[in-house]
Structure 1
Amino acid sequence: MNFSVVIPLYNKLHYVRSAVRSVLAQTIAPLEVIVVDDGSTDGSAEAVASMGDPRVRLVRQPNAGVSAARNRGIELARGDWVAFLDADDWYHPEMLAALAQAHQACPDADMLGAGFRTIPPAFGADPEAWPVAESFYEVEVVDDLRVRWMKTAPFCTSSVAIRTDLLRRIQPCFVTGEHHGEDLDLWFRVGDMARVAVVNAPFAAVRVLPDSLSTRNARHTMPAFLQRMQQRALSGEIPAKHRRSALWFVGQMHVTLARDALDAGDRKLALRWLAGGRRVALTRRWALTALMALFMPTHVAGSWQRWRLRSAEAFSPEGPSQ
């Protein structure tokens, strides 16, 4: 198997060379690295061009957003698989080998993933590769990606690969003009039609900004990808075996949005989100959030929510059958 790695780029001068270097340093060499510059103005594209490796293909386009950049990369890919990497993230040297291992364990899977870890921004510096003690890791075949996602995210945008021919059949893969959930939208659509195999070990590094809970804003509208998911489930477009979990997933996202509203001190908005998530009203997570919204003083609820997020409490909502 061979990989085309697609990197959408917009004003990531401090990071993009590190990202490209991490792909070129793979123990399983990529067929190509396609960097789609989406109208950068900070010299990012010039930095990539100066790297001078023939495997790196730099493509420039007027600014049209990350979805358009990724779709362009998919159109140009020559490999059997398209792997994605954000321009400020980084591959462990064994990333592509880990994806190949997932393919070996489940040859009929059309989407492969691996775990990831978060790292500080660190301008320009390449992270140190963390130890890989085992030659083989557990490969999990995921039957229902939404249920699995609500336990923990098994992969991220920078640790996933999908068969190129499948992506070409559903182009445009990423919905243009969206910057929230456009990647989840694709993963779940692919998961509805294909098998997913995941290596349960971290092989990508995701750079994150410092905690900004104090600036968290409550969302007043449902993200577009969740609206589409609900519509597709209700219309029967989602396969029957996944419709129940799709509606359950949307309901759980209502609960998440209600908790964000409580964190922002907006009790009325939290209750509105909970009403919209009534399909999961019998779950412990919905009930606990409702009690907080109805009876707990807002400043206490917000403090509790901030503590929960800071302590990285893993919510494990009940499955769609409950």
Structure 2
Amino acid sequence: MKFSVVMPLYNKARYVHSALRSVLAQTLPPHEVIVVDDGSTDGSAAAVESIPDPRVRLVRQRNAGVSAARNRGIDEATGDWIAFLDADDWYHPEMLAALAQAHGACREADMLGAGFRKVPHLLGADPDPWPVTEGFYEVEVVEDLRQRWMRLSPFCSSSVAIRAARLKSMQPCFAEGDHHGEDLDLWFRVADTSPVAIVNAPFAATRVLPDSLSARQPRDTLPGFLKRMREQALSGRIPARHRKSALWFVGQQEVTLAREALGAGDRRTALRFLLDARCVAFTRRWQLTLLMILFMPSRVADSWQRWRLRSAEVFSPEGPVQ
């Protein structure tokens, strides 16, 4: 298998060396590493150029966002498979080998994934080595990715690979202009017509950046990718076998948005999101949220929401439903 690794880059000069080292150290060597510099201003491009490996190719473009950078990388790729890695994340040395094993377990899968682990914010340093049991790993074949994602996200943007021919036929793959969920939007569209083979072991590490609870603003509109998902399900563009889980996924996200709005003291927006989530109205989570909107004092709702954020139990594209 020939893996092209696409790395979008914007002002990550402090981290990109580490990310590239992790790709070049793979036991299954990459076919190429395409770094798309999206108009960096901090010397990121120079950091990439300082690596003398001919497999690393730097492509420059004016700042247009991560989706445009990934789409450019897909256009430039020449391998059979395209894997993605953010410029501040890392691959385990067996990452590409694990994806190749997933392919061997399910040849018809157009998308391959692996587990990941989160590491603290480190100033450019490589993460401490983490053990992964050697040998063959459990490969899970997923037929309904949305349903699987609502249990627990099985991979992340830095631990997935998709057949290159499939991506090139879908260009532009990532919705340019979206700032939330543009990666999930693509993963689900691919998975609607192909099984997904996932190695259930952590072969990527993602950097957890500092996040201020006070700086986190609740959304007052449904993200674009969720609007499109609902429209596609209702119009029949999503295959029939996945329509129910697509509508369920959107509904559960709307319940989360309702809870976030309630935590910010905006009961009107919370109620609007909850009413839009009618397809999950008979679930305990929906009904509990309605009771909180109607009866919970604002100060209690705010304290509850902060506790939920700290304990990482709020449903999001990266976490489970609670």
Q: TM-score category by the smaller chain? A: over 0.9
Give 1:23's aligned residue.
23
The whole-number CA distance in structure 1 between the counterparts of 2:260 and 2:314 is 15
Q: Which amino acid aligns with 2:104?
A: Q
Give 2:202's aligned residue.
202
What pairs up with 1:146-295 in 2 under 5 angstroms? Answer: 146-295=146-295
Q: Secondary structure at the match of 1:199?
A: strand
Shift of 1:154: 0.7
Q: Which amino acid aligns with 1:140?
A: E
Q: Which amino acid aligns with 2:88?
A: D
Shift of 1:314: 7.3
Q: How many residues align?
A: 318
Give 1:35's aligned residue.
35
Question: Which segment drifts farther, 126-135 or 139-148?
Answer: 126-135
CA contact (8 A) 2:132 2:202 kept: no
Give 1:50's aligned residue.
50
Task: Map Cα deviations across residues 64-116 of structure 1 (whole Å, 9 max, x no partner).
Answer: 11111101111111111000001111111111111111111111111000111
What pairs up with 1:111-130 in 2 under 5 angstroms? Answer: 111-130=111-130
Task: Give RMSD over aligned pairs.
Answer: 1.4
Please report the TM-score for the alignment, with normalisation by the length of structure 2: 0.96
CA contact (8 A) 2:10 2:38 kept: yes
CA contact (8 A) 2:16 2:88 kept: yes
CA contact (8 A) 1:113 1:159 kept: yes
Shift of 1:317: 4.7
The whole-number CA distance in structure 1 between the counterparts of 2:314 and 2:292 is 18
Shift of 1:52: 1.0
CA contact (8 A) 2:5 2:33 kept: yes
The whole-number CA distance in structure 2 between the counterparts of 1:134 and 1:309 is 35
- Give the gaps of 5 or more residues in structure 2: none
The whole-number CA distance in structure 2 between the counterparts of 1:285 and 1:265 is 19
CA contact (8 A) 1:216 1:264 kept: no
Aligned pair in 2 of structure 1 residues 184, 87: CA closer, same or farther (>3 Å)?
A: same
Q: Which amino acid aligns with 2:274?
A: L
Q: Secondary structure at the match of 1:193?
A: coil
Question: Which segment drifts farther, 21-30 or 265-274?
Answer: 265-274
- What fraction of aligned residue pairs are identical, expressed as a percent? 73
The whole-number CA distance in structure 2 between the counterparts of 1:20 and 1:179 is 25
What pairs up with 1:37-116 in 2 under 5 angstroms? Answer: 37-116=37-116
The whole-number CA distance in structure 1 between the counterparts of 2:85 and 2:24 is 12
The whole-number CA distance in structure 2 between the counterparts of 1:291 and 1:41 is 49
Give 2:302's aligned residue.
302
Question: Which segment drifts farther, 208-217 or 65-74?
Answer: 208-217
Aligned pair in 2 of structure 1 residues 314, 104: CA closer, same or farther (>3 Å)?
A: farther
The whole-number CA distance in structure 2 between the counterparts of 1:34 and 1:223 is 29
Q: Secondary structure at the match of 2:192?
A: helix
CA contact (8 A) 2:313 2:321 kept: no
Q: Which 4+ stretches in 1 moved above 6 angstroms?
A: none
Q: Secondary structure at the match of 2:36?
A: strand
Q: Which amino acid aligns with 2:102?
A: A
Q: Secondary structure at the match of 1:307?
A: helix
Q: Which amino acid aligns with 1:296?
A: M
CA contact (8 A) 1:283 1:317 kept: no
- Give the gaps of 5 or more residues in structure 1: none
The whole-number CA distance in structure 1 between the counterparts of 2:153 and 2:18 is 24
The whole-number CA distance in structure 2 between the counterparts of 1:297 and 1:197 is 46
Q: Secondary structure at the match of 1:5?
A: strand
Shift of 1:121: 2.1
The whole-number CA distance in structure 2 between the counterparts of 1:174 and 1:63 is 16
The whole-number CA distance in structure 2 between the counterparts of 1:123 and 1:63 is 24
Q: Which amino acid aligns with 1:151?
A: R
Q: Secondary structure at the match of 1:63?
A: coil
Shift of 1:211: 3.6
